[in-house]
Amino acid sequence: MAVLETLTRPEVEDFLILEASLLNEWRLEEWRALFTQDCSYLVPNMNGDPYAPPDASLYLIADDGHHLTERVKRLGKKTAHAEFPRSRTRRLISNVRFLARSPAQVKVESSFITYRAAQGVTDTFYGRHEYCIVEQAGGLRIHEKRTILDMEALRPQGRLSIIV
């Protein structure tokens, strides 16, 4: 667990910048590989408790590892109509800080703004990402990513067809 113990904020920022760039560039399989196999990717409903258990509360997205793999497969297809032709996206991340550290995992938060442009409309998504990061094969892997949106509703964005 050497990597985690000595992990600095600039190092974890580099990792999160890499993650954002893979999404910006639609390199989604490489993005999926930043996660553990048994990961979760969660986007809670902005009307509720962002930490409510996803098996007893209605989330917007509550993917386990299987569903995240399938989501990436879907977004790679031309029949994912909401994202084909692919939207143009730009993710800005900032305010990175450690929330908690232990020998087995670190919890990290970033603030984000994501722009999505498609079909003549630009939408903005904003909020914070909370990561649980673990070490695997000498590198960092995301075990959980929880995206907590600050908007009051998905209005007028209407959808979460991208990974914000």
Nearest residue to 12 (alpha-carbon basis) of 83, 110, 81, 87? 110
Nearer to other proteins, 3 or 62 (CB): 62
User: Minimal distance in Å, beta carbon 14 to other proteins?
Assistant: 28
Element (H, E) at 46: none
* The Cα angle at residue 124 between residues 55 and 10, in degrees rounded to 5: 80
Binding of other proteins by 26 (CB under 8 A): no
Binding of other proteins by 45 (CB under 8 A): yes
Binding of other proteins by 117 (CB under 8 A): no
Judged by CB under 8 A, the stretch of 2-10, 26-34, 47-55, 99-107 that binds other proteins is 47-55
Buried b (16+ CB within 10 A) or exposed e, 120-152: eeebebebbbbbbbbbeeeebbbbbbbbbbeee
List the interface residues with other proteins, window 51-70 (CB under 8 A).
52, 54-62, 67, 70
Binding stretches for other proteins (CB under 8 A): 43, 45-48, 52, 54-62, 67, 70-71, 73-74, 77, 79-83, 119-121, 152-161
